[in-house]
Structure 1
Amino acid sequence: MIRGIRGATTVTTDKEELILSATESLLQQLIKENDVKPEAVISLFISVTHDLTSTFPAKAIRRFDGWKYVPVMCMQEIPVEGGLPLCIRLMLHVNTSTEQKDIHHVYQKEAVRLRPDLVSENTIK
């Protein structure tokens, strides 16, 4: 069965090293909390808010062992007035037998405001 696993994080400013580090940290936690193996990943969508333009967050994904052939796409988030700025969102599409209610979505830093109902005790603030 295919499941979506969501995650989001923020950075304090539009700097390449911050974006890559935050993306890496978010993916690490998603992998750990959901026991994700790269061969089970169908694709990964990454969106960023309009204020993040210094790099493609997908560069961070290529640092992970075994993720070379995972299809990754970066896109811009809809710029809704009052939306959370400096935000990076991930949507993993994974083959898994895990039930929907047992998927662990990860929200870090300021992104915990997006889905406080899904924030785990392992959240990085």
Structure 2
Amino acid sequence: MTRFGKTLALESSGDLEVNELNTIRWVRGHEAVVQDLKVTLATIQGEDPFDPEHGLDMFAATGTSEPRLKLEVVQALDRDDRVKKVDEVVIDRDDSRRASVQVTVTLVDDSQHTFEVTQ
């Protein structure tokens, strides 16, 4: 079995998740990978000084065609060595410049996961 590690749980806002006792929660395995992939898509490429390739190339993705946005999402997720393949990217844009992206990925252990990110 492939180990996917653990990370601190995040709220949808990106803040650390804490309970009523101000205790943080860890996420492990597939849940940790999916959370990391969401963070990847919410990170502007170049924003991380220790890994400048990490994240979504917002300059290429913003205001572009749907096929180009899908390509940018796939390229960002393919950089994660835990992702075997990106199976599907569904984009829902509203009238503003915001988009909701639903992604289905297959991880290296052949498990399939679907998640959504809104930017």
Which one has a bigger Cα radius of gyration? Answer: 2
Question: Does TM-score exceed 0.5, indicating one fold?
Answer: no
The TM-score normalised by the length of structure 1 is: 0.27
The TM-score normalised by the length of structure 2 is: 0.28
Q: Which has the higher contact order (CA 8 A, sep 6+)?
A: 1
